[in-house]
Structure 1
Amino acid sequence: MTERIEHASDPGDLTADQLAVGSVVEVEVGPVAHGGHCVARYQGRVVFVRLALPGERVRVRITDARRGSFCRGEAIEVLRADPDRVAAPCRHYRPGGCGGCDFQHATPARQRSLKAAVVAEQLHRLAGVDREVIVQELRAAVAPEPAARPDPDWHWRTRVRWAADRDDHIGPRAFRSAVVQDVGPDAPCLIAAPGLSEAAAELSAPRDLRRPAVAAGVGVGGVQRPGRPNRSQRGGPRGRRAADPVRPPDPEVVLVRRPGEGPLAVWTGPDHPSDSLPSTRAHAGMPAGGPTTVAADRTVAHPDAVQETALGRTWQVAADGFWQAHPAAVDTLGAAVDRMLEGRLPAGGTAWDLYGGVGVFAEVLARRVGADGVVVTVEGDTEASRLAAANLADRPQVTALCGAVEQRLGELPGRVDAIVLDPPRSGAGAGVCRQLADRRPAVLVYVACDPAALARDTAALQDAGYRLAELEAFDCFPQTHHVECVAAFVPEPNRD
């Protein structure tokens, strides 16, 4: 079978040292690697290949060549396909395209097996742990509309962050490129929840944000002030992208699906240099420096938060703040954390929720310890910490502290029975892991969005006298290489 993802020219007769950006070569594809690539070799030189599956033979166009080191590339023609390869339905999926749904060319079951292989490989290589990993499928109704696509592997993302460039394009930025992919009814994002692609098409791009505009019932009021942290990525302000020193970043729009209320849009990032915003803000009734939001049929000025539902209650979340994008993720992860606390966190006990966001896992802990227990949640983002306190105001056993975990640890109670931590993609780090292990809790429950960070911190906890007792993995991000894990660590015997 030969599948042409894109027309490939004759690869020629290059040596490994001659590989450069734009070179095309044929390779046998090896195992999947962390980050969604597969490992291949061309005359001994490592090539990390996107858009391929292990065992395939493909033509690869080199996109990054580091002298004396590895290369990166994209499969542009499949010469021998894996049986689990499928035709990708998204118009933005192609070499040089969006790059977000980088596993879209595999069946859902194969996607999960690839993710499981990555988690297992990282634990083995970085922590010396050999463990079978099964990535579990998430099942949930993604939208109340009967016309919504029923397949849970599509239209699940209730929050998207897209770029808005100076050519009036709104959508995902092309992989390793400054080009923005137009998203709209004719070329929707297939993982975005119903209504979000359509909302993006109805928004005016940054050049038009100097004045209020109404298009198809959507009011546009302006852009967010420069320098506001990007809180929608995990880990609060530390999740921001580094600025391009040559090309200033474009504004971005966060689109949030609110069931029953229509989409909400929040412009973020730096203002366009030519934009003049005071009159726009005055028209929208927006306080100076407040974010601009857009909702169906009305402009909303400076909302503190949007409302989400999980764990049987409602949550206030900053419109541009972090919340799991899959509608089933919070309940799924909360249940996994609770299972790992069973028999390890007593009623009346003390527990910590670190990198706690708006308080989701603090709620799980509060239910376990009851009214006589103590829960402390620590979050570095000021707005998220404020919302955690507001969300859990009916839980007097919960105290919300704002600050970096590294700085706040010394202020926390000396005795602790259980610790839940949900660090940013970079992980907690060996120093924090050692400090947590020194407190000797009965269990450390670690929620991880990056297998490599989980493996590094597993090694650190093992060195500090804790072992990996339980591990569950979840497909919270179908069509992508991303995977969420929940791990329980308990003290090694005879180490106290």
Structure 2
Amino acid sequence: MKRHTRPRQNKGASHVGERFEVEVGPVAHGGFWIARHEGRVIFVRHALTGEKAIVEVTEGSDGDTFWRADAVEILEASPDRVQAPCEYARPGGCGGCDFQHVAVTAQRDLKAQVIKEQFRRLAKLEVDITVQPVHGDKEGLRWRTRQTYVGPGKGMRKHRSHDVIQIDDCLIARHDAREGGEGSLTETVDAAGTQRTFQVAADGFWQVHPGAPTALVEAVLDALQPQSGESVLDLYSGVGLFSSFLAERGASVTAIEGEKVASEYGAGNVLKARSITSDVAAWLALNPGESDLVVLDPPRAGAGRKVVTAIADRSPRAIAYVACDPAALARDVATFAELGYRMSDLKAFDLFPMTHHVESVALLVPDRVLA
């Protein structure tokens, strides 16, 4: 049977390549700034709030509600602007770094602004947050312990494109950065006075900033204050980073991970925990009950209402939510609030310098605790 496809809507004349002057407004989630031209919203990269710039449209037609553009000439520069250390961090260059033109301390301020705006807009909360640096980078450079290139050579994608640009050296990658491969690797983490060793698949997930595991483990332990004998659910547990340190505190840990290889590594890394390979939402639906504590470290899209509801139904005394996307975190925090759990603490870490990405750890507790 012939498949009928919906005809592509004609949105009018393209404006790609056009240039005009704008005044740059606030930073937005995603590594761009908001500007306006003749009433239309423009998402601008390579800019800074308060600047006057000439921008060039990279995506946009008459029928689009917003356009995308690059700042190609700065007429009035922000005091936070610096010369990008990488020659490829420019319009038409590598799309990996959003903030190389911004002083490192100002980058953290921008990320804090984004977190505040996402919570204000999506959770109706005013949060006071400072994005903290972690040990292991050199003024925002040389921190990636793993790097993936588009072969052959050192190819990197352009922003929102499959086009590849060849580079000589990625400045956010360590000189000894691994480039994937087969087999397993050994990672050692020192946190909260304890050293633990983990086996990780060479092509599996592990935090790429060397200071990330320590910062996140200590934030989770500080938030939960686990006690010996307490039951803990570690959801989206990966290779057992949090489970390992929680089990060392004497907690009874059940680790749920949907990715089979990661779950198998987790079982080997944390012999004191019960490791289960399962989709998190499916396991929670089939295994009702109570848990004293929950660690929640979902993918970028967040946990979602089904998982959040199942967690709240288990009546934990505390939930540590580890998030790599502030918008997803804010949405889930709003859902937790509907179900009787409030955010009582929030920390943020600069685990991805020179990019717009930021990691957060939120503590959620029952309403009665804050009453």
What residue number does 1:329 align with?
212
Residues 47, 73 of structure 1: 8 Å contact kept = yes
Q: Which residue of 1 aligns with 2:165?
A: 181
Q: TM-score, normalised by structure 1?
A: 0.69
Counterpart residue type for residue 27 of structure 1: V
Tell me whether 1:98 sits opposite 2:94 in the alignment: yes
* Aligned twin of 2:267: 389
Is residue 339 from structure 1 mapped to residue 222 from structure 2 by the alignment? Answer: yes
For the Cα contact (< 8 Å) 1:57–1:78, is it kept in 2? yes
Letter of the 2:304 counterpart? G
Deviations 1:326-370 (A, max 9, x none): 00000011000010012xx321110010000000011122123x1
**1:61-460 matched pairs, under 5 angstroms:** 61-66=56-61, 67-140=63-136, 151-164=138-151, 168-183=152-167, 187-196=168-177, 256=178, 265-266=179-180, 293=181, 302-303=182-183, 305-311=184-190, 312-342=195-225, 345-368=226-249, 370=250, 373-393=251-271, 395=272, 398-412=273-287, 414-460=289-335
2:261 and 2:118 map into 1 onto residues whose CA distance is: 34
Which moved further from structure 2: 171-180 or 413-422?
171-180
Measured in 2, the distance between the counterparts of 1:334 and 1:411 equals 29
Q: Which amino acid aligns with 2:170?
A: C
Q: Which residue of 1 aligns with 2:8?
A: none
The structure with the larger Rg is: 1
1:424 aligned partner, one-letter code: P
Give distance in 1, aligned partners of 2:153 and 2:217. Answer: 37
- Give the drift of 1:412: 4.1
* Unaligned runs of at least 5 residues, structure 1: 1-16, 143-150, 197-255, 257-264, 267-292, 294-301
Q: Which of 342, 347, 362 is residue 467 of structure 1 equivalent to?
A: 342
Q: Which residue of 1 aligns with 2:357?
A: 482
Among 26, 34, 54, the alignment partner of 2:29 is: 34
- What SS is found at the alignment partner of 2:175? coil
| Alignment deviations for residues 92-111 of structure 1 (CA, whole Å, 9 cap, x no partner) | 11101112111000101100
TM-score normalised by L of structure 2: 0.92
2:60 paired with 1:60:
no
Question: Following TM superposition, where does structure 1 have runs of at least 4 consecutive aligned residues deviating by more than 6 angstroms?
Answer: none
Cross-structure match for 2:5: none
Give 1:171 shift: 2.3
Deviation at 1:195, TM superposition (A): 3.7
Cα distance change, pair 19–56 in 1 and its aligned pair in 2 (3 A): farther
Distance of aligned partners of 1:110 and 1:18 in 2 relative to their CA distance in 1, 3 Å threshold: farther
Task: Report the Cα distance in structure 1 between the residues aligned to 2:325 and 2:32, rounded to whole angstroms.
Answer: 15
Separation in 1, partners of 2:336, 2:148: 34
Q: Aligned partners of 2:202, 2:166: CA distance in 1, in Å? A: 23
| 1:39-84 Cα deviation digits (max 9, x unpaired) | 1111110001001111111111111115240011111011110001
Are 1:49 and 2:44 matched, yes or no?
yes
Separation (CA, whole Å) in 1 of partners of 2:266 and 2:159: 35
Question: What is the CA deviation profile of residues 97-145 of structure 1, one whole-angstrom value per residue up to 9, with x for unaligned ones?
Answer: 11211100010110000000000100010000101110001123x6xxx
Question: What's the secondary structure of 2:322's corresponding residue?
Answer: strand
SS in 2 for 1:452: helix
C-alpha change, 1:81 and 1:18, in structure 2 (3 Å) is farther
Distance 1:419 1:467 in 2: 14
Q: Displacement, 1:86? A: 0.1
Aligned to 1:122, what secondary structure does the other structure show? Answer: helix
User: 2:235 & 2:336 partners in 1: Cα distance?
Assistant: 16
Q: Would you say the 8 A contact 1:123–1:455 is kept in 2?
A: yes
The Cα of 1:378 is off from its aligned counterpart by 0.5
Alignment partners' CA distance in 1, 2:370 and 2:54:
53
| Greater Cα shift, 103-112 or 411-420 | 411-420
User: Is this contact kept in 1: 2:135–2:210, CA < 8 A?
Assistant: no
Partner of 1:193, secondary structure, is: strand
Aligned identity (percent) is 47
Q: How far did 1:414 drift?
A: 1.5
Distance 2:213 2:369 in 1: 36
* 432-441 vs 64-73, greater mean Cα deviation: 64-73
**Equivalent position amino acid for 2:186 in 1:** Q
Task: Tell me, yes or no, if the aligned pair for 1:62 and 1:72 is still in contact at 8 Å.
Answer: yes
Change (3 A) 1:97 1:85: same
Q: Which amino acid in the other structure matches residue 57 of structure 1?
A: K
**Partner letter of residue 223 of structure 2?**
M
Q: Distance in 2 between matches of 1:68 and 1:421?
A: 37
- Equivalent AA in structure 2 for residue 359 of structure 1: G
Which residue number in structure 1 is paired with residue 6 of structure 2?
none
SS in 1 for 2:268: helix
CA contact (8 A) 1:127 1:458 kept: yes
The 1-side partners of 2:170 and 2:267 are apart by 35
Amino acid at match of 1:172: M
Equivalent pairs counted in the alignment come to 355
For 2:206, the aligned partner's letter is W
Whether the 8 Å contact between 2:143 and 2:174 is mirrored in structure 1 is: yes
Give the 3-state SS of the residue equivalent to 2:140 in structure 1: coil
Question: Helix, strand or coil: the match of 2:148?
Answer: strand
Q: Tell me which residue corresponds to 1:248.
A: none
Residue aligned with 2:344, SS: strand
